[in-house]
Amino acid sequence: MTYALLHEQSGRFAAALMRCGVVPGDRVAAQVDKSADAVLLYVACLRMGAVFVPINVANTSSEVDYFLRDSMPKVAVIRPADRALLGPPAARAGVQHVETLGADGEGSLLELVRQSGEHPALPRSVGANSPAAIVYTSGTTGRSKGAVLMRANLASNAAVLVEAWRFTSRDIV
Protein backbone atom coordinates (compact mmCIF):
# COMPACT_ATOMS: atom_id res chain seq x y z
CA MET A 1 0.00 0.00 0.00
CA THR A 2 1.41 3.36 -0.97
CA TYR A 3 1.47 6.29 1.41
CA ALA A 4 -1.13 8.09 -0.70
CA LEU A 5 -3.50 5.11 -0.53
CA LEU A 6 -2.89 4.68 3.21
CA HIS A 7 -3.64 8.38 3.72
CA GLU A 8 -6.82 8.27 1.63
CA GLN A 9 -8.21 5.04 3.07
CA SER A 10 -7.38 5.83 6.72
CA GLY A 11 -9.09 9.18 6.17
CA ARG A 12 -12.22 7.35 5.02
CA PHE A 13 -12.09 5.17 8.15
CA ALA A 14 -11.69 8.34 10.25
CA ALA A 15 -14.75 9.83 8.52
CA ALA A 16 -16.74 6.69 9.38
CA LEU A 17 -15.70 6.94 13.03
CA MET A 18 -16.63 10.62 13.06
CA ARG A 19 -20.09 9.65 11.78
CA CYS A 20 -20.34 7.54 14.95
CA GLY A 21 -19.55 10.64 17.00
CA VAL A 22 -15.89 9.86 17.75
CA VAL A 23 -13.83 12.96 18.60
CA PRO A 24 -10.23 13.33 19.82
CA GLY A 25 -9.75 11.57 23.14
CA ASP A 26 -12.63 9.11 22.64
CA ARG A 27 -11.76 5.43 22.81
CA VAL A 28 -12.30 2.94 20.00
CA ALA A 29 -12.08 -0.72 21.02
CA ALA A 30 -11.34 -3.34 18.38
CA GLN A 31 -11.51 -7.11 18.65
CA VAL A 32 -10.97 -8.08 15.03
CA ASP A 33 -8.80 -10.41 12.99
CA LYS A 34 -5.56 -9.12 11.51
CA SER A 35 -6.20 -7.52 8.14
CA ALA A 36 -5.36 -4.46 6.07
CA ASP A 37 -8.68 -2.96 7.18
CA ALA A 38 -7.72 -3.46 10.85
CA VAL A 39 -4.52 -1.50 10.18
CA LEU A 40 -6.55 1.25 8.50
CA LEU A 41 -8.80 1.43 11.57
CA TYR A 42 -5.74 1.82 13.82
CA VAL A 43 -4.18 4.51 11.61
CA ALA A 44 -7.52 6.34 11.44
CA CYS A 45 -7.64 6.46 15.23
CA LEU A 46 -4.11 7.83 15.38
CA ARG A 47 -4.85 10.44 12.72
CA MET A 48 -7.98 11.73 14.40
CA GLY A 49 -6.71 11.62 17.99
CA ALA A 50 -8.92 8.76 19.14
CA VAL A 51 -7.49 6.27 21.64
CA PHE A 52 -7.19 2.79 20.11
CA VAL A 53 -7.98 -0.15 22.43
CA PRO A 54 -6.93 -3.43 20.80
CA ILE A 55 -8.49 -6.57 22.27
CA ASN A 56 -7.03 -9.96 21.45
CA VAL A 57 -9.44 -12.22 19.56
CA ALA A 58 -8.48 -15.04 21.95
CA ASN A 59 -10.01 -13.21 24.93
CA THR A 60 -13.20 -14.67 26.37
CA SER A 61 -16.49 -12.78 26.45
CA SER A 62 -16.09 -12.15 30.20
CA GLU A 63 -12.61 -10.67 29.58
CA VAL A 64 -14.02 -8.51 26.77
CA ASP A 65 -16.81 -7.43 29.12
CA TYR A 66 -14.19 -6.25 31.63
CA PHE A 67 -12.07 -4.46 28.97
CA LEU A 68 -15.11 -2.62 27.61
CA ARG A 69 -16.33 -1.55 31.05
CA ASP A 70 -12.82 -0.47 32.04
CA SER A 71 -11.85 1.41 28.85
CA MET A 72 -15.29 2.94 28.20
CA PRO A 73 -15.06 3.15 24.39
CA LYS A 74 -17.53 5.17 22.38
CA VAL A 75 -17.25 2.61 19.56
CA ALA A 76 -16.46 -1.10 19.64
CA VAL A 77 -15.51 -2.90 16.44
CA ILE A 78 -15.90 -6.67 16.49
CA ARG A 79 -15.94 -9.56 14.05
CA PRO A 80 -19.33 -10.09 12.35
CA ALA A 81 -19.63 -13.59 13.81
CA ASP A 82 -19.20 -12.22 17.36
CA ARG A 83 -22.07 -9.72 17.27
CA ALA A 84 -24.54 -11.90 19.20
CA LEU A 85 -21.91 -12.86 21.78
CA LEU A 86 -20.30 -9.45 22.32
CA GLY A 87 -23.24 -7.13 21.68
CA PRO A 88 -24.68 -7.58 25.20
CA PRO A 89 -21.38 -6.86 27.02
CA ALA A 90 -20.93 -3.76 24.84
CA ALA A 91 -24.43 -2.57 25.75
CA ARG A 92 -23.77 -3.16 29.47
CA ALA A 93 -20.54 -1.15 29.17
CA GLY A 94 -22.39 1.79 27.62
CA VAL A 95 -20.74 1.50 24.20
CA GLN A 96 -22.68 3.84 21.90
CA HIS A 97 -21.87 2.10 18.60
CA VAL A 98 -21.00 -1.53 17.89
CA GLU A 99 -19.71 -2.02 14.37
CA THR A 100 -18.40 -5.13 12.66
CA LEU A 101 -15.26 -5.68 10.60
CA GLY A 102 -14.45 -8.99 8.96
CA ALA A 103 -11.10 -10.11 7.60
CA ASP A 104 -12.64 -10.66 4.16
CA GLY A 105 -13.90 -7.13 3.58
CA GLU A 106 -17.32 -7.43 5.16
CA GLY A 107 -18.95 -5.67 8.07
CA SER A 108 -20.97 -2.64 9.08
CA LEU A 109 -17.87 -0.48 9.58
CA LEU A 110 -16.88 -0.97 5.95
CA GLU A 111 -20.38 0.04 4.90
CA LEU A 112 -19.93 3.26 6.92
CA VAL A 113 -16.54 3.75 5.26
CA ARG A 114 -18.14 3.40 1.80
CA GLN A 115 -20.89 5.87 2.73
CA SER A 116 -18.44 8.39 4.19
CA GLY A 117 -16.83 9.39 0.91
CA GLU A 118 -13.84 11.70 1.00
CA HIS A 119 -12.03 12.03 4.27
CA PRO A 120 -12.78 15.12 6.34
CA ALA A 121 -10.44 17.70 7.77
CA LEU A 122 -8.98 15.96 10.79
CA PRO A 123 -8.18 17.67 14.09
CA ARG A 124 -4.72 19.20 14.35
CA SER A 125 -4.73 19.82 18.09
CA VAL A 126 -3.66 16.33 19.18
CA GLY A 127 -0.37 16.66 21.05
CA ALA A 128 2.53 14.24 21.46
CA ASN A 129 1.62 13.74 25.12
CA SER A 130 -1.95 12.71 24.29
CA PRO A 131 -2.99 9.07 24.75
CA ALA A 132 -2.82 7.02 21.55
CA ALA A 133 -3.67 3.52 22.79
CA ILE A 134 -4.65 1.51 25.82
CA VAL A 135 -3.13 -1.96 25.78
CA TYR A 136 -4.19 -4.46 28.42
CA THR A 137 -1.63 -6.49 30.33
CA SER A 138 -1.90 -10.27 30.44
CA GLY A 139 -3.11 -10.26 34.03
CA THR A 140 -0.92 -13.20 35.06
CA THR A 141 -0.63 -11.93 38.64
CA GLY A 142 -4.12 -10.49 38.94
CA ARG A 143 -6.65 -8.50 36.97
CA SER A 144 -5.49 -7.15 33.59
CA LYS A 145 -4.64 -3.47 33.65
CA GLY A 146 -4.84 -0.95 30.85
CA ALA A 147 -1.44 0.52 30.01
CA VAL A 148 -1.83 3.93 28.38
CA LEU A 149 0.60 4.57 25.53
CA MET A 150 1.14 8.17 24.57
CA ARG A 151 1.58 9.33 20.97
CA ALA A 152 5.20 10.27 21.74
CA ASN A 153 5.81 6.72 23.06
CA LEU A 154 4.63 5.18 19.79
CA ALA A 155 6.61 7.67 17.69
CA SER A 156 9.78 6.99 19.69
CA ASN A 157 9.30 3.24 19.36
CA ALA A 158 8.86 3.55 15.60
CA ALA A 159 12.00 5.71 15.27
CA VAL A 160 14.05 3.21 17.28
CA LEU A 161 12.81 0.32 15.12
CA VAL A 162 13.66 2.18 11.92
CA GLU A 163 17.18 2.76 13.22
CA ALA A 164 17.70 -0.73 14.68
CA TRP A 165 16.32 -2.59 11.68
CA ARG A 166 17.75 -0.08 9.20
CA PHE A 167 14.50 0.40 7.32
CA THR A 168 14.68 2.39 4.11
CA SER A 169 12.05 3.66 1.71
CA ARG A 170 12.68 0.54 -0.41
CA ASP A 171 11.62 -1.87 2.34
CA ILE A 172 8.24 -3.56 2.40
CA VAL A 173 6.91 -4.71 5.74
The answer to whether residue 173 sits within a structural domain is no
Counting the structural domains of the chain, the total is 1
23-81 pLDDT tens trace: 999 999 999 999 999 999 999 999 999 999 999 999 988 999 999 999 999 999 999 99
The set of residues, in sequence order, having a beta carbon less than 8 Å from that of 85 and lying 6+ positions away, is 61
The answer to whether residue 147 sits within a structural domain is yes
pTM exceeds cut of 0.75: yes
| 3-class state of residue 62 by DSSP | helix
- Integer-rounded Cα Rg, in Å, for the chain is 16
The answer to whether residue 171 sits within a structural domain is no
The answer to whether residue 102 sits within a structural domain is yes
Task: Return d(Cα 46, Cα 51) in angstroms, integer.
Answer: 7
Task: Return d(Cα 94, Cα 71) in angstroms, integer.
Answer: 11
Q: Is the pLDDT of residue 83 over 70?
A: yes
The answer to whether residue 27 sits within a structural domain is yes
The answer to whether residue 170 sits within a structural domain is no
Domain CATH code at residue 34: 3.40.50.12780
Q: How many helices (H) and strands (E) does the chain have?
A: 6, 6
The answer to whether residue 82 sits within a structural domain is yes
Range of the domain at 142: 3-118+130-165
Answer whether 104's CB lies under 8 Å from 79's CB. Answer: no
The answer to whether residue 53 sits within a structural domain is yes
